[in-house]
Amino acid sequence: MDNFENAKWIWKDTKFTKNDYAYFRKEYRIDKPVEEAFIHVSAHNHMKLYVNGKIVSDFVTPISSVATKRKYYLSYDVKEYLTQGMNCFYLEVLYLGGSGQNYVNAAPGFILSGLIQCENKTIEISSNESWKTTKKIAHGINMPYQQSRHVTPVELFDARLYEEEAKFVSYDDKDWINAITSPMQLQQPILVKQKIAEGSIHQTIYPKKIGKRKKGFQVFDVGRIITGFVRIKLKGYEGKQITIRYSEDLLNHRVKHNVANEQSDYYCDYYIMNDCDEQTWQADFTYKSFRYFEIENYPEELDEHQVIAIVCSTGIEVNGYLSSKSYPILNDLYEVSVNTQLNNTQGMLVDCPHREQAQYLGDSDLQAENLIYNFSNHYELIDKALQDFSDMQQVEGFFPFVAPTNFLDTQFELRICEYDFYFITLMEKAYKINRDKRIIKQYYPIAKKMLAHYLSLIDETGLIPKDKGWHISDWPYPKVDETGHYLTFQNMLALKVLRIMIEFGKLMDESVNYYIKLENQLRFSIVKYLKKDGLFIDSSNSSKKHQGINALALELNLFNEEEKKVALDYIIKQKFASSVILGRTVLRQLFEHEQTEAAFQYMFNNEKGWGNILRLGNKTMWEGFDDIESHSHAWNCYPLRMIQEYVVGLKMIEPTKVYITPQFVNRVSDITAKVQSMYGNITFGYEKYENKVIFTYFIPAGIEAILHFKDKDHVLVNGKLTKIKL
């Protein structure tokens, strides 16, 4: 049977609003012992599934999608939850609506299908109009959004109205009414099994209390910015409404009314108590992100064990590692990068975990650097970004600035022209993980259509002029001069992806003559019009020569041999002149040209930069290098990958082959790294002494490993922890 052949999308009534909730239940009789039982379920936007009162689903599930085209579903083995006799299936569903920035409205509802296999009998379970629903909802409906971008709702929960008994078969649901078919049934999104892990608890933290209870509020410090929620365990006072308010910041000893750098009076949740002596609650239908939280209006003094900070996001695993005794700032870099990536993985690779929770192509491409080396689900998360943007591609070929999104809402009808090209660089990253052509076959037509839009703009100069939309050569707070009609970064990035598309076309057995011709033409025009006195200017008619623009030219081999050294010297002398986007290019080119000391200077020894962030004791990475934006932004963590790849030397040149070429630098006398591969984790490290180097390594079976040291190649033994002295 098809998973959802006989199931329907259902909802509670024909009227629905923003931030709407619905509860559903259905009982099934099982007369014989259960041999197998699997349930498949999806919802828009998020749901909680219970069987006989026990929670089955994890957090913030299913993950987001372009819901008018596809929805992800989860499959659960529920055998252990079932008993002989009557069994109760119960769901709570949150519908966001409201045309938010990081999801698609579609219609509310849920769909469920399953088979329970007993001896000589199969029981089919399907959502339909026989399921019961209720108008008595404990969750506040039509609540305000916590952010201006309409991302997550204020959760108001009235414990007095909540009927825990409805999750069990003993409950009398005579006052409940039959569900109706949801409009989602007519929209018929494709149902796709979710491969990305659901939300999972990574850690629980007992926060530090700041001061004593004053004027009805009590403030707590988690110690770092986390994604997750607050769990309270309190004595009940019936009818008492308490507020939990969140922020990265404090103001006058209280939690600031903001979401990152955006003012908000609504970054909070409300809980109304019932008359139970002890009450436990957490607002976990959506993710919050915060360092500080405030409990308002609770009449007693709280201790640090009555409130718990729950670190929760997509259940990815940390497989990578970096450590150094001689240069401990590298340990800090690793910790900060892990913390930040866990915060910023919320069913997709989000830019910041609170203010936007949005998936950008450029941000995803930057995050993919660390993701591929250090975290599970990396392939699936990159694939999801490509799928979401494919589903939101516009007729002209370009993409919205984020996906999924309500692009027809005027406040989100935005484009970032350069970011469109990262669709192709993400394809390349995904393909190189396992060399599976599926990723190319699926997205090559989308990439062709996008690229055709920009190539159609080429004029008599052979360059791509500015297009309608927002242009980003570097970000945030960039110093690139974009006043000219032709932007150097945009044209160079177009050249880069043209070269990738030529290789993709060959893999697809397609003619690439057209792309080869355009690549030659574009390369010629970039050099002719945008190169002045041996260096590249920021844009046409500009006199500025940005560090990052010239690093990109170096990457693309746009300098002749005599000019390369001059360009590299120029890049080094500019010190720290790039922001996050072009900083990656600068850093990689320094390492590629074995300017290791200059690379460390760039990372750690400037007034601004990663060294400054780490020396200040931050446990998550900032959006940029100024203390004024989001302070948990995973796109800025790529130095971790650079250290693993170049300093330790772990360069994956094929899915099953690692070529290890360490770059030594005086300040680091010992270092160890672990990176993931398709056959397991590769560990490599070294300790330097006056006249020898001791290498320690573990190479999983199936991986070919070659260590290049002092102009010789050494084949490393598979499958065991080994030390060698060279």
Q: How far is the C-alpha of 63 from the C-alpha of 199, rounded, in Å?
A: 9
Q: Are residues 118 and 70 in the same domain?
A: yes
Kindly state whether residue 299 falls inside one of the protein's structural domains: yes
pLDDT band at 720 (very low <50, low <70, confident <90, very high): confident
**Residue range 140-144: mean pLDDT, rounded:** 98
* Residue 594 identity: E
**How many whole angstroms separate alpha carbon 697 and alpha carbon 714?**
12
DSSP letter, residue 168: S
Q: Is residue 103 part of a domain?
A: yes
- Closest of 564, 150, 573, 610 to residue 355, by C-alpha: 150
Q: Which amino acid is at 304?
A: E
Total residue length of the chain? 726
**Exposed / middle / buried, residue 163 (Cβ in 10 Å: 0-12, 13-18, 19+):** middle
Boundary residue ending a domain (314, 340, 361): 314
The radius of gyration of the chain from alpha carbons, rounded to an integer in Å, stands at 27
With beta carbons less than 8 A apart as the criterion, state whether 74 and 4 touch.
no
How far, CA to CA in Å, does 632 sit from each of 220, 261, 291, 532, 639? 19, 12, 10, 39, 15
Would you give the DSSP letter of residue 568? H
C-alpha to C-alpha distance for 668 and 688, rounded to whole angstroms: 8
428: confidence class by pLDDT, cuts 50, 70, 90: very high
3-state secondary structure 220-286: EEEEEEEEEEEEEEEECCCCCEEEEEEECCEECCEECCEECCEECCCCEEEEECCCCCEEEEECCCC
Q: Residue type for 626, please? A: D
71 Cβ neighbours under 8 A, 6+ residues apart? 42, 44, 62, 65, 189, 190, 191, 192
Tell me how far apart the alpha carbons of residues 648 and 717 are, in angstroms, rounded to a whole number: 18
Q: What is the pLDDT of residue 1?
A: 45
The whole-number pLDDT of residue 725 equals 81
Instruction: Show the domain range for 21.
Output: 10-139+163-195
Q: Are residues 185 and 307 in the same domain?
A: no
pTM to 2 decimal places = 0.97
Establish if 643 belongs to a structural domain: no
Does any domain span residue 339?
no
39 vs 721 pLDDT, higher one = 39
Same domain assignment for residues 207 and 299: yes
Q: How confident is the model at residue 3 (pLDDT cuts 50, 70, 90)?
A: confident
Q: Kind and range of the H or E element at 323?
A: strand 321-323
Residues 92 and 181 in one domain: yes
Show the CA angle centred on residue 322, arms to residues 321 and 323, nearest 5°. 130
Decide if 324 is inside a domain.
Answer: no
| E strand or H helix at 550 | helix 547-555
pLDDT of residue 2: 72
Of residues 106, 96, 107, the one with CA closest to residue 147: 96
Q: Give the pLDDT confidence of 572-608 residue by residue, as tens digits.
A: 999 999 999 999 999 999 999 999 999 999 999 999 9
Q: Is residue 213 part of a domain?
A: yes
Which residues are bridge partners to 404 per DSSP?
A: none
- Helix, strand and coil content of the chain, in percent to the nearest 5, comes to 25, 30, 40
List pLDDT tens digits, range 688-709.
998 899 999 999 999 999 999 9
pLDDT in tens, 363-409: 999 999 999 999 999 999 999 999 999 999 999 999 999 999 999 89
Residue located via tokens 């005794």: 325
Indicate if 87 and 183 belong to the same structural domain. Answer: yes
For residue 719, pLDDT over 90 is answered with no
Are 27 and 176 found together in one domain? yes
Q: How far apart are CA 365 and CA 342, in angstroms?
A: 16
Check residue 717 and give its pLDDT.
84
CATH number of residue 216's parent domain: 2.60.120.260
**DSSP letter, residue 352:** S
Which of 314, 343, 366 is the C-terminal boundary of a domain? 314
- Report yes or no on 255 lying in a domain: yes
Asked which of 253, 284, 314 is the last residue of a domain, the reply is 314
CA-to-CA separations, 441 to 90, 434, 509, in angstroms, rounded: 40, 14, 11
Would residue 83 count as lying in a domain?
A: yes
Please classify residue 119 by burial: count the beta carbons closer than 10 Å to its beta carbon, then call 0-12 exposed, 13-18 middle and 19+ buried. Answer: exposed
Q: Let me know the angle formed at the C-alpha of 451 by 448 and 454, rounded to the nearest 5 degrees.
A: 150
The residues, ordered by sequence, that sit 6+ positions from 49 with a Cβ below 8 Å of its Cβ are 39, 41, 55, 56, 57, 76, 89, 90, 91, 112
Asked if residues 265 and 251 have their Cβ atoms less than 8 Å apart, the reply is no
C-alpha–C-alpha distance, residues 459 and 465, integer Å: 8
Locate 200 and state its tokens: 């999972």
Please give the single-letter amino acid code of residue 51.
Answer: V
Both tokens of 217, joined, read 């509020």
In contact, 294 and 255? CB cutoff 8 Å: yes
Are 234 and 290 within one domain?
yes
Gap between the Cα atoms of 391 and 379, Å rounded: 18
Residues 183 and 242 in one domain: no
Task: Give the amino acid at 676.
Answer: Q
223 and 245 co-located in one domain: yes
Sign for the pseudo-dihedral over CA of 232, 237, 238, 240 = negative
Q: Which residues pair with 47 in a beta bridge?
A: 61, 93
Average pLDDT over residues 6-33: 96
CA atoms within 13 A on the CB side of 515: 20
Separation between Cα atoms, residue 716 and residue 699, nearest integer Å = 7
Angle, CA 46 vertex, CA 100 and CA 414 arms, to 5°? 20
Q: What pLDDT is recorded for position 149? A: 96
User: Is 170 found in the same domain as 270?
Assistant: no
**Quick one: 191 and 207 in the same domain?**
no
Domain identity same for 249 and 178: no
Question: How many domains, the chain?
Answer: 2
Per-residue model confidence as pLDDT tens digits over 78-129: 999 999 999 999 999 999 999 999 999 999 999 999 999 998 899 999 999 9
> pLDDT digit string (tens) for 180-215?
999 999 999 999 999 999 999 999 999 999 998 888
**Mean pLDDT of the residues in the chain:** 96
Distance separating alpha carbons of residues 455 and 451, to the nearest angstrom:
6
pLDDT tens for 615-642 read 999 999 999 999 999 999 999 999 999 9
